[in-house]
Amino acid sequence: MWWPWASELAALGEDIHAEPKVRGSIFGINRDTRFSTDKTPYKTYLDLWFWQGDGPSRERPGHFLRLTAESLTLGAGMHAFSDHALERYRQAVLEDDRGQGLEQAASQTRAEIGGRTYKRVPAGLPADHPRAEWLRHSGLFASVDQPLAAEFYTPQFVRLCFEHYRRLAPLQHWLNDVLT
């Protein structure tokens, strides 16, 4: 894998993929405006995605970076589960060992946990389960938002990113283990 961050990515876990191209690890920020009257970009930010494991990149957990003009967001996990991944996630939440592992991993990240989209526990799942709140997730990720730090303009930026990625690693590892 060629990428300036390749050795740092490899230290985060096995089989992390980075493709330095648009629609690889770089999400597209513009649309084809040749035949449109609206020439504005559909995104005003840059997203990078480094996924872990075999399979389509959007179906695997990974690490992400979002850069706007004012802020930086670093995170790990999956924003939305496929049907198969959602089923495996729910089974893991309901299991004693894996469910406790999720709670421990989430507490270790010391970050905001996202992906809870359901107002209540979906039908067919136990609403009185000790980890019922985790069953309300349709994705699972931890993220850190911060204003652009002075390091952004220096070679120290990579170090700053990977400090956060290492902190989010317990949740990423848990999710990767469940979906593998």
Q: Spell out the CATH class of 6-28+40-179.
A: alpha beta
Question: In the predicted model, is pLDDT for residue 5 greater than 70?
Answer: no
Question: In the predicted model, is pLDDT for residue 3 greater than 70?
Answer: no
Tokens encoding 59: 């179906």
The pLDDT tens digits of the residues spanning 125-174 come to: 999 999 999 999 999 999 999 999 888 888 888 889 999 999 999 999 99
15 near 52, Cβ under 8 Å? yes
pLDDT for 2 equals 47
Query: Can you tell me whether residue 31 is helix, strand or coil?
Result: coil
118 near 101, Cβ under 8 Å? no
The pLDDT tens digits of the residues spanning 47-57 come to: 999 999 888 77
Whether this model's pTM surpasses 0.85? yes
Q: Are strands 71-78 and 112-116 parallel, antiparallel or unpaired?
A: unpaired
